[in-house]
Amino acid sequence: MSSSNLWLPYTQMRTALPPLKADWTDGCRIGLADGRVLIDGIASWWTACHGYNHPHIADALRTQLARMPHVMFGGLVHEPAQRLADRLTTLLPGDLNSVFFAESGSVAVEVAIKMAIQYWLNRGEQGRSRLVAFRGGYHGDTFATMAVCDPEEGMHSLFRGVLAQHHLVDLPRDDASEAMLGGFLALNRDGIAAILVEPLVQGAGGMVFHAPEVLQRLRRLADQHGLLLILDEIFTGFGRTGSLFACEQAGIVPDIITLSKALTGGTMALSAAIARPHVFEAFQSDDPVHGPTRALMHGPTYMGNALACAAANASLDLFEREDRLGQVASISAQLESELEPCRALPGVVDVRVMGAIGVVQLARIEAMNALKAALVEQGVWVRPFRDIIYLTPAFTITSAELTVLTRAVRRAIATI
Ligand SMILES: *Cc1c(COP(=O)(O)O)cnc(C)c1O
């Protein structure tokens, strides 16, 4: 592998274990080139919610590939994108009705940020360019999104002076912190475009949960201070937290929502930023002079890729036909009972479960390479990071496969 010309993500390649070579996937299994087979506990960064190689998505992709893989989205639209937009707006709560497609989660968040800032400019309010985002948050790796990630864990210090300045604050978990954030917003609202948060679970920042009422507090604060609320449901969307969208558990509707990760069931890169009518309307104008600059100036080359939209439509078919949320509830119960014993293991400081997310947090993980090796040794694909080991399996995982995963986590912790 040392002669490989692949540059790996998030990896100090000098000291990391060499990557494993994946050769095939099927259901919840990843086959390696050397013949080993691993039970997958991550669903490839939470994308493969129906397991790998689902025949319904594969059929939809084959059909779309033969008919029309892709056309530019400038001036052209197509049935797969139209159908997907119709279905997403129907599934989403409230009047989140205007769907802008992109190809990655980071870009969807960038588009949402752009929408929020231009919303105020188009309404004649200058200077409202800052976001309020939260410690522990993660919204992507591009420059605009790095600037709204957790200030310690993100790239803030490394790229100091390059990143846009935003307000990074603590989540308002109680009345006192809601009042404090309210005071801050009252003083600074003229420079703020929107509040941006991952609802219920801060995922890549450490799988930290918060109660639905935190989202109600944020909706209330946004309304009181006349700010937009953006929910980044790229991780939580499509059932992961137990409801189809996390915001449903709080009974709130954001002004803009971002989706990606499980959108195509783990097959194709696709994302969306979806806005409510008041946001969309701010971009409409028939003014011959100013109209053109009021439009949303964004258009990824592969925007609305027809193959990706066909995969997403097939994925939504599966949510309709098969009881995915029921499966999530069963996974949740099993994770609770089978991870709970980890609490008694040395070094474990917390065990928490929400929907199909199970987290074991340690005081610290010193022997990260040894832990990763021990997990592979147990025949599972699980990627601990920082101080946590987490499971986010496909919703179609069998109870027996899930037991292999939870047992491997318990054993691996005991061996390091
Ligand atoms: C993964 C993730 C992103 C970034 O998505 P990419 O497709 O990796 O750019 C943004 N927000 C959240 C909440 C995510 O989990």
Q: What is the DSSP string of 235-284?
A: TTTTTTTSSSSGGGGGT---SEEEE-GGGGTSSS--EEEEE-HHHHHTT-
Domain tally, the chain: 2
Q: Which residue do the tokens 């193959």 mark?
A: 307
Do residue 303 and residue 336 come from a single domain? no
Predicted confidence at residue 154, as pLDDT, reads 66
Token output for 164 = 């846009």
Q: Answer yes or no: 302 catalytic.
A: no
pLDDT at 114 over 60: yes
Q: How far is the CA of 312 from the centre of ligand 1 (A)?
A: 17
Mean pLDDT value across residues 4-12: 93
Q: At which of 301, 321, 341 does a domain end?
A: 321
The overall average pLDDT reported for the chain is 97
Q: Are residues 159 and 305 in the same domain?
A: yes
Is the same domain home to 265 and 188?
yes
User: What number of residues does the chain have?
Assistant: 416
* CATH number of the domain to which 43 belongs: 3.90.1150.10
Residue 304, marked binder: no
What is the rounded average pLDDT of the residues 338-367? Answer: 97
Nearest by Cα to 397 from 44, 49, 47, 25: 49
Q: Averaged over 332-356, what is the pLDDT?
A: 97
Given the residues 40, 150, 232, 255, select the one marked as catalytic: 232
Instruction: Verify whether ligand 1 is closer than 6 Å to residue 395 (CB atom).
Output: no
The average pLDDT across 35-39 equals: 98
CA of 140 to the centre of ligand 1 (A): 5
In a domain, 12, yes or no: no
9 within a domain of the structure (yes/no)? no
Out of 321, 345, 361, a domain closes at: 321
CATH number at residue 110: 3.40.640.10
Q: Domain range spanning residue 347?
A: 22-54+323-414
CB contact burial 177-201 (16+ within 10 A = b; e otherwise): ebeebbebbeeebeebbbbbbbbbb
Is the residue at 206 inside a domain?
yes
Share of the chain above pLDDT 70, in %: 99
The neighbour count for residue 399, using CB atoms within 10 Å, is 10
Cβ-based burial of 122 (10 A; exposed 0-12, middle 13-18, buried ≥19)? buried
In terms of domains, do 237 and 295 share one? yes
Mean pLDDT across 147-152:
93
- My answer on whether 334 and 258 are in the same domain is no
**112 and 251 co-located in one domain:** yes
**Same domain, yes or no: 216 and 80:** yes
Q: Which of 232, 260, 385 maximizes ligand 1 atoms within 8 Å of its Cβ, making it the mutation to test the pocket? A: 260
Q: Which of 10, 103, 109 gets mutated to test ligand 1 (max ligand atoms within 8 A of its CB)?
A: 109
Indicate if 335 and 271 belong to the same structural domain. Answer: no
E-strand ranges in 60-200 read 98-102, 130-134, 167-169, 192-197
The answer to whether the CB of 239 falls within 8 A of the CB of 356 is yes
Beta strands at 98-102 and 271-275: parallel, antiparallel or unpaired: antiparallel
Give 1's pLDDT tier (boundaries 50, 70, 90).
very low
List, in sequence order, the alpha helices (H) in 169-258: 175-188, 212-224
Listed residue (268, 186, 275) closest to 228, CA to CA: 275
Q: Is residue 225 one of the residues assigned to a domain? A: yes
- Does 371 lie in the same domain as 277? no
Task: Please determine, for residue 279, whether its predicted confidence score (pLDDT) is greater than 70.
Answer: yes
pLDDT band at 157 (very low <50, low <70, confident <90, very high): confident
Residue 69 CB partners (closer than 8 Å, separation 6+)? 305, 306, 307
Confidence of residue 4 (pLDDT cuts 50, 70, 90): confident
Q: Is residue 7 part of a domain?
A: no
Greater pLDDT, 290 or 198: 198
Q: Same domain, yes or no, for 256 and 356?
A: no
